Structure 1
Amino acid sequence: MTHASPYRSGALSGAPFTALFQEVKDAGLLALRPGYYAWRLALNVALCGAGLVAFLLLGDSWWQLLVAAYLALCSVQCAFMGHDAGHKAMFRDRRAATAVGLIHLNLVNGISYGWWVGHHNRHHSHPNHIDRDPDIARRTAVFHAKQYATRNARQRFIVRHQAVLFFVLLVLEAYKIQKTAVLAVARGAVRRPLLEGSLLLAHVVLFLGAVFLVLPPLTAVAFLLVHQALTGVYLGLVFAPNHKGMAVREGEEEALDWLERQVLTSRNVRPSPLTDFLYGGLNYQIEHHLFPAMPQRNLGRCRKIVRRYCTVHGLPYRELGFAASYREVAVFLHEVSAPMRADGRAGRHRRAA
């Protein structure tokens, strides 16, 4: 179910982004919210602290696997703070933002802040662009038929069944991001390779050291696997409904202006207090892509303005409930891979003949 854009340059000449930007700015929604982020940072410290206390009190127990699951939630909540710092939604000052990002991504999650900022900024500039969006390029799954030719035999098997395996393989998502980040730091592809590398090493030493000091080897390995797998699943489930199944683009960027480019490629997950917390505000994906530096707290109010603006100017605004958003992603992945499954069956028939 690909929501291909019917719009081309000039089709929304009556809906300039500057008008929407001015309305949002006049509403005060681009102003920083230091009090909110102070509360969120304190909440994360409390959540992580509670997990650490539970871990130390339980000691040698298989109940520690529940603690591992809980700490996976804490890890992603910390990653949300690194994300907002990277967008300057928390601080405009680069040094303060970098400090928060390094702590929450490198030290807490083992992810390079410098690598992530560059990677994520390219994604924001070219969402769902086959050749320019790095979030599409680093996936085994395909979002356009032209990508299939670049996949090897193992990857093609995954692609043929990607409607299911995309979600199953999210257990490896945290590992894949961490591996990519470590390689980027090792290559010197970040501004502070020594600092970032030291923090990544500190993450490994502190995390593994604590787990293997408190738990016997078998329980420790199980703890690590559960934490790593659930962190990956949580991250993947937050990111999956944002763009998958929306308009996929290729060719020149001038075909769409900024407003069209962001709205037509993004999908919101219908908000609620629980959804806002679990998604770290990224369920307001349309608003976040239009205004990346907007504090998380303001996205809900911005949603009302953006929805009204899109309705007035005839621009599709895609928002679904929690379950429906994942169902739409799965249907899209199934439809895109249908020719690949047919090709695989034809190949087996030829070999059998």
Structure 2
Amino acid sequence: MSPTSTAERPKARAIQPNPVVQSYSELLKSVKAAGLLERRSGFYIWVFVALVLLMAGTWLGFALIGESWYQLLIAAAVGILCTQLSFLAHEAGHKQIFASRRANDWSARLLATGVAGISYSWWEQKHGAHHNHPNVISKDPDIRNNALVFYEDAAAERKGRLAFLTKKQGWFFFPLLTLLGLSLQFDSLRFVFGKQKVRHRWVETPILVTRLAALPVLAFTFLPIGMAFAFLGVQIMVYGFYMGASFAPNHKGMPVLPKDSRVDFLNRQILTSRNISGGIFMDFLLGGLNRQVEHHLFPDMARPHLYKATKIVREFCAKHSITYTETTLMQSYGIVVRYLNDVGLAAGRGFDCPVASTHGRF
């Protein structure tokens, strides 16, 4: 038998390029060409110095005011500044600030654990899962069922009084945010004292415990007992409310994806995220979280570059017919409340038996 000629040999099947990968590569190339993935360490140093000076001034006010109910204003200021420093911890955790991974990691750990009283190791694990699977059921810890539920199947499982409350859960959303700070700190303590592996446990644990003890010691040492309790309550409530009100508009009320969904990275990040309009003021108020679409597409992009990336991403989405969502802050809150109430209506509904639906109940 004569050998097969070149013309008779089967041609190798051409590997078709993945259009999604190609389109994301196109977007990434545009962003890199614009210099938007370069570090802006100077910006962050100035922000950090400004916040530290404001915090120092706040505690000076605490010392000068003494036993006065004006201390509650100081407590609120501490809560606000702790939130702003938490934004920096978030950005360091995403490697946005320094070129060195180690410098980012330790900056985030010291800010989150030492200032906000939140375990960085716990947050890193939780937040990483969120970025990988935003709004994906059973994979995104930010839509895990707790006091609130974020999808109808979970709401349908609730019975009795809990079902009654869930049906109106949207109206409880903002009051519950005042408890978020306590929840974050409790989860942090449970994590660092748990049996699971914790990176740098023996560094993080004493820092966390010292931070959580320091504020009560200061309050009860220098203020009357009732005022001290009020001071601590206002501080943690303001912190929790500000944190929750900053993160909630990003994904709540956006599409929730099934556990087994196979949505590609590009669409998953864009379709489940919402931007908040408002310009540079909103960039400061929300620590860059208002540019959530761009943040999810490029997690290590520095805050000052996000607003420039917005135009590129918006044009890219228009070109590829991808829905790009942006609202005002107040509109986003309205969407979140309505969405939670709509989901809550499924509470107590339970399972509808197909036989009963067809033939009636006995």
Question: TM-score, length-normalised on structure 2?
Answer: 0.88
CA contact (8 A) 2:114 2:211 kept: yes
Instruction: Say which of 240, 244, 268 aligns to 2:252.
Output: 244
Shift of 1:152: 6.8
Is 1:58 the equivalent of 2:86? no
Shift of 1:87: 0.5
RMSD: 1.9
Once structures 1 and 2 are overlaid, which stretch shifts more, 216-225 or 147-156? 147-156
Shift of 1:220: 0.5
What is residue 222 of structure 1 aligned with on the other side? 230
Is 1:213 the equivalent of 2:221? yes
The AA in structure 1 aligned to 2:287 is G
CA contact (8 A) 1:172 1:229 kept: yes
What is residue 235 of structure 1 aligned with on the other side? 243
Deviations 1:77-128 (A, max 9, x none): 0100110111111123232112211221111111000110111010000000
In structure 2, list runs of 5 or more residues that go unmatched.
Answer: 1-16, 351-362
The AA in structure 1 aligned to 2:248 is A
Shift of 1:216: 1.1
Aligned residues: 333
Aligned sequence identity (%): 38
In structure 1, list runs of 5 or more residues that go unmatched.
Answer: 1-9, 344-353
CA contact (8 A) 1:12 1:313 kept: no
Runs of 4+ in structure 1 over 3 Å off? 10-15, 149-158
Q: Distance in 2 between matches of 1:176 and 1:200?
A: 14
Deviations 1:149-177 (A, max 9, x none): 55575643432211111221111101111
Once structures 1 and 2 are overlaid, which stretch shifts more, 239-248 or 202-211? 202-211
Alpha-carbon distance change, 297 to 138 in structure 1, aligned in 2, over 3 angstroms? farther
What is residue 9 of structure 2 aligned with on the other side? none
The AA in structure 1 aligned to 2:200 is R
CA contact (8 A) 1:141 1:158 kept: no
Q: Distance in 1 between matches of 2:122 and 2:99?
A: 19
Q: Which has the larger helix fraction? A: 1
What is residue 108 of structure 2 aligned with on the other side? 101
Instruction: Say which of 259, 262, 267 aligns to 1:260.
Output: 267
Is 1:196 the equivalent of 2:204? yes
Q: Distance in 2 between matches of 1:261 and 1:15?
A: 16
Instruction: Say which of 40, 53, 59 aligns to 1:46.
Output: 53
Alpha-carbon distance change, 33 to 66 in structure 1, aligned in 2, over 3 angstroms? same
Q: How does 1:77-88 map to 2 (within 5 A)?
A: 77-88=84-95
Q: Distance in 2 between matches of 1:154 and 1:37?
A: 47
Question: TM-score, length-normalised on structure 1?
Answer: 0.90
Once structures 1 and 2 are overlaid, which stretch shifts more, 52-61 or 202-211? 202-211
Q: Distance in 1 between matches of 2:163 and 2:194?
A: 29
Deviations 1:32-80 (A, max 9, x none): 1111111111111112111111111111100000111111110100100
Q: How does 1:114-129 map to 2 (within 5 A)?
A: 114-129=121-136
Q: Distance in 2 between matches of 1:12 and 1:158?
A: 46
Is 1:168 the equivalent of 2:160? no
The AA in structure 2 aligned to 1:63 is Y
What is residue 348 of structure 1 aligned with on the other side? none
What is residue 349 of structure 1 aligned with on the other side? none
The AA in structure 1 aligned to 2:59 is L
CA contact (8 A) 2:159 2:348 kept: no
Q: How does 1:1-353 map to 2 (within 5 A)?
A: 13=20, 16-137=23-144, 139-148=146-155, 151=158, 155-189=162-196, 190-253=198-261, 255-340=262-347
